[in-house]
Amino acid sequence: MHHKTPKVFRYIRNIILFFFISTVAMTVIYRFVPVYITPLMVIRSAQQLIGGEKIVCHHTWVSFSNISPHLPMAVIASEDNRFATHNGFDFIEIEKAMKENETRKRKRGASTISQQTAKNVFLWPQSSWIRKGFEVYFTWLIELVWSKERIMEVYLNSIEMGKGIYGAEATAHYKFKTIAKRLSAGQCALIAASLPNPIRFDSSHPSSYMLHRQAHILRLMKLIPKFPPVEAVKEKSSPNKRNKR
């Protein structure tokens, strides 16, 4: 018996080590490499296959500079007002949601864009305490390793925006017959309005509820600080100071 215990501990230790090393490595890789496929895309394709449907998975990665500047503003206005300033978790919203959920029948979440990105890229959609625990870990990891702009870039490229449609470029093409860079403020607000349930809410055929949400998002877009911040854009476009003599 005495020989077996250390073996078990070694096995557990190796699994934990492998988990931390592989997840940190993937997070570092995804800081630079486009995320071409997510667990949700695989799950949805498998569901279509099992259901005897044709597999539909439209996704084209585009860089942040090739996405309409209105889209990050629209999703921040709709999903996560404090995205630019929080560390991955919006404790003000969490507190609000907990208070509201005491009296609400339908529970309201307080997931930030960072949390949604962590879930989209590394995890599965079904909610559980185990997934929430992993979500906290991956959110902390991407906030540590990626910039806010990179988190937003991955989010806008990986999020489900319709049946078999993922990311800004595919949405622009299949919903609005344009490209992500040319999406108008109104179209971006409609996309953001559909995000709580993009299968049910169709941004290209908005219901009166969605049009009401769109108007509210457009109003908020004028009030929230610009993203990415103007200083960050200026810094990027100016030549590297170290190169100056």
The 3-class SS string of 16-70 reads HHHHHHHHHHHHHHHHHCCCCCCHHHHHHHHHHHHCCCCCCCEECCCCHHHCCCH
**Taking a C-beta distance cutoff of 8 angstroms, is the pair 75, 195 a contact?**
yes
Give residue 205's pLDDT: 94
- Assigned token pair, 80: 């996560």
Bridge partner list, 166:
59, 160
Measured CA distances, 73 to 33, 38, 43, 126, 166 (Å) = 24, 24, 29, 27, 19
Give residue 4's pLDDT: 56
Q: How far apart are CA 22 and CA 237, in angstroms?
A: 34
Q: How far apart are the first and last CA of the chain?
A: 70
Give residue 107's pLDDT: 57
Q: What is the DSSP code (8-state) at residue 72?
A: H
Give residue 95's pLDDT: 79
Does the pTM surpass 0.85? The reply is yes
- Summarised one tens digit per residue, pLDDT across range 72-102 is 999 999 999 999 999 888 888 777 777 766 6
Which parts of the chain sit beneath pLDDT 50?
1, 241-245
How many CA atoms are closer than 13 Å to the CA of 205, on its beta-carbon side?
A: 5
Q: Does domain 34-237 have CATH number 3.30.479.30?
A: no
Give residue 237's pLDDT: 52
